[in-house]
Amino acid sequence: MSRYLSPFALLAFPLCSAWAQNQSFAEGAFQVLEKAACRACHNPEGVASVTRLQFPETDATPDKIERFGQSLVVLVDRQNPAESLLLKKPTNKTPHAGGARLTAGSNDERMLAAWVRQLASLSGNDLARALKYREEEAAGQGHTAPKVALRRLTHSQYNNTVRDLLGDQTSPANQFPPEDFVNGFKNQYQAQNLSPILLESYGSAAEKLARNAFRGGDTRGLVPCKPSVACRTQFVREFGLKAFRRPLEPEEQQRYEALMRKGTDFYNGAQLAVEAMLQSPHFLFRLEETSNPKWKSFATAARLSYTLWDSMPDAALLDAASKNQLSTPEAVEKAARRMLDHTKARDAFDEFIAQWMRFDRILTASKDRRRYPQFTRETAVAMTEEARVFLGDLVWNDRNFMDFVRADYTFINGDLAGIYGLPAPSREFSRVQLPPTQERAGLLGQALFLALTAKPDETAPTARGLFVREQFLCQKVAEPPPGINTNLPEPSEAKPT
């Protein structure tokens, strides 16, 4: 007999005290769904944000929680409640990306089943009110709009920005405190705090960058005119536009001009202004959205440039923004296609790959030299390069992206050829065909993925599954329940594993 209860058994659950009709959603089924960690995916930023189940804010009023519970009627089969998605998804009876969140036959399932039956009985004004909640949410009524996240430049974005702004190639952010990975990447605003040591690093970098920019005068062509009073105004306006990725306000213009006047000469004054701008929040943080209509196109330009180039907008993009030429989808697509043809797009993609595939982990990994004598720092670097070239080939050469998981080829050098048991290629990281006997396919068969998700001395299927779910499927895997023993028993001849 199946371990799942039949639909008829669910309908037969007694409607005694705890599960009586007209029960409170907040005190019943809502607690069940919260305990099952459904909110982790079913929220405006979660992987299930596009589904019909989306939790209200954590500080929602009791009335809103109750109305949210009523609105779940859209997930209920009112003719056959036991077949409702609201009941079958959490138990994984209907395939659920989050797996089984409730145990079949448990009290939690009984409580949810009671709520499903209650929703199935809604009619008339009660049903209309339940459906109206969803209409109001879709229209933004009664819903607290999420606050716009003000994103700080990541270290790679900082390096690229000062390179494009000042012509500086020293990558000063490499000396900043290391960034944390959140949700698999470094650009998540939850981890973008400004610690005292990072603020100190910004100050030191700004001082050094400004000094180097004007050492011996204007050796990098930053000043667009012959030094004069009028040129001071022009320099502040044009450099400020590039540094802040939007036009300066009149008071900002006046403030930086006044700072320039404090210099011993024109170039020393320019150095002071640049140093100050590099420490401004308007430089260190990206303008993503704004209620100021004058800056709207510039916000679009900044989003485009930091998404596709991992750096500041160039002159063409800023010019398009100044002419309000980024206000339609067609205009944005045109700008994006131009940007994708630039080498900066490939560099930005490489940075994305490095974070997505956690190159940092493999480059700092240690393996048992007796079991894996071929694993060295050089082979670890080669593994990252194989993945980078492979994924770059898929994207930039417009391959069939199913090859991500099924490709019977890869890109290797001599070190990896030895690991794969293949002849060394004539050219480093050139494409080679994998023989069928290898049983390798796509990225999951490459040395990087296998070494990255293994322990120092043995394989780790659980770690590989976790990496696939989190990095490839964008699922948040909850921690195991408290009290669970996650240690496997020692294998023996009687109980091999």
pLDDT at 140: 54
In this prediction, residues 18-29 reach a mean pLDDT of 68
pLDDT at 138: 58
Statement: residue 20 has pLDDT above 50 = no
Measuring CA to CA, which residue among 77, 29, 79 is closest to residue 55?
A: 29
Residue 324 DSSP one-character state: T
pTM comes to 0.72
Statement: residue 3 has pLDDT above 80 = no
Q: Is residue 232 part of a domain?
A: no
Compute the distance between CA of residue 249 and CA of residue 441 in angstroms, rounded to an integer: 55
Q: Which residues contact 17 (CB under 8 A, 6 or more apart)?
A: none
Cβ atoms of 137 and 72 within 8 Å: the answer is no
Decide which of 139, 166, 195 is a domain's last residue: 139
Residue 85 belongs to what domain range? 7-139
Compute the distance between CA of residue 230 and CA of residue 228 in angstroms, rounded to an integer: 5
Q: Is residue 394 part of a domain?
A: yes
Between 29 and 340, whose confidence is greater?
340
pLDDT at 283: 96
Measuring CA to CA, which residue among 250, 252, 271, 335 is closest to residue 298?
A: 335
Decide which of 83, 112, 139 is a domain's last residue: 139
- Which backbone phi and psi does 433 adopt, to 5 degrees? -85, 135
Question: Terminus-to-terminus CA distance in the chain, angstroms?
Answer: 28
Q: Is residue 251 part of a domain?
A: no
Statement: residue 243 has pLDDT above 70 = yes
Radius of gyration of the chain (CA): 29
Cβ atoms of 300 and 245 within 8 Å: the answer is no
Q: Is residue 101 part of a domain?
A: yes
Interhelix angle for 124-139 vs 62-71, to 10°? Answer: 110
pLDDT 10s digits, 46-95? 667 667 788 888 888 888 888 888 889 888 888 998 998 888 888 888 88
Compute the distance between CA of residue 163 and CA of residue 330 in angstroms, rounded to an integer: 30
Decide which of 118, 139, 160 is a domain's last residue: 139
The residues that bridge with 118 in the sheet, in sequence order, are none
**Exposed (0-12), middle (13-18) or buried (19+): which is 207, by Cβ within 10 Å?**
middle
Compute the distance between CA of residue 276 and CA of residue 278 in angstroms, rounded to an integer: 5
Confidence of residue 446 (pLDDT cuts 50, 70, 90): very high
pLDDT 10s digits, 183-213? 888 888 777 888 899 999 999 999 999 999 9
Q: Distances in Å between the alpha carbon of 463 and those of 183, 356, 381, 448, 460?
A: 16, 16, 21, 14, 5
Q: Is residue 254 part of a domain?
A: no
pLDDT 10s digits, 131-142? 888 777 755 554
Q: Distances in Å between the alpha carbon of 254 and those of 75, 214, 273, 435?
A: 59, 22, 11, 68
Measuring CA to CA, which residue among 466, 446, 447, 463 is closest to residue 455?
A: 463
pLDDT at 98: 74
Compute the distance between CA of residue 262 and CA of residue 269 in angstroms, rounded to an integer: 6
- 3-state class (DSSP) for residue 481: coil
Mean pLDDT score across all residues of the chain: 87
Statement: residue 226 has pLDDT above 90 = yes
Q: Is residue 415 part of a domain?
A: yes
pLDDT 10s digits, 343-402? 999 999 999 999 999 999 999 999 999 999 999 999 999 999 999 999 999 999 999 989
Measuring CA to CA, which residue among 56, 112, 67, 57 is closest to residue 85?
A: 112
pLDDT at 11: 35
Query: Which DSSP string corresponds to 228-262?
Result: SHHHHHHHHHHHHHHHHTSPPPHHHHHHHHHHHTT
Compute the distance between CA of residue 92 and CA of residue 104 in angstroms, rounded to an integer: 9
Compute the distance between CA of residue 269 and CA of residue 261 in angstroms, rounded to an integer: 6
Task: Please name the amino acid found at residue 434.
Answer: L
Compute the distance between CA of residue 19 and CA of residue 115 in angstroms, rounded to an integer: 8
Q: What angle do CA 69, 72, 76 make, to 5 degrees?
A: 135
Percentage with pLDDT > 90 across the chain? 55
Statement: residue 17 has pLDDT above 80 = no
Compute the distance between CA of residue 21 and CA of residue 64 in angstroms, rounded to an integer: 20
Compute the distance between CA of residue 432 and CA of residue 417 in angstroms, rounded to an integer: 10
Q: Following CA atoms 358, 364, 370, 372 in sequence, which dihedral angle do they give, to the nearest 10 degrees?
A: 30
Cβ atoms of 261 and 232 within 8 Å: the answer is yes
Compute the distance between CA of residue 113 and CA of residue 283 in angstroms, rounded to an integer: 54
- Which backbone phi and psi does 285 adopt, to 5 degrees? -115, 145
In this prediction, residues 479-486 reach a mean pLDDT of 78
pLDDT 10s digits, 261-293? 999 999 999 999 999 999 999 999 987 777 788
Domain total of the chain: 2
pLDDT at 139: 56
Compute the distance between CA of residue 172 and CA of residue 159 in angstroms, rounded to an integer: 6
Q: Is residue 31 part of a domain?
A: yes
Statement: residue 39 has pLDDT above 90 = no
Q: Is residue 299 part of a domain?
A: no
Cβ count near 340 (within 10 Å)? 16
pLDDT 10s digits, 448-460? 999 999 999 888 8
Cβ atoms of 309 and 336 within 8 Å: the answer is no
pLDDT 10s digits, 302-357? 999 999 999 999 999 999 999 999 999 999 999 999 999 999 999 999 999 999 99
**Exposed (0-12), middle (13-18) or buried (19+): which is 457, by Cβ within 10 Å?**
exposed
In this prediction, residues 94-105 reach a mean pLDDT of 84
Task: Please name the amino acid found at residue 334.
Answer: K
Compute the distance between CA of residue 298 and CA of residue 310 in angstroms, rounded to an integer: 16
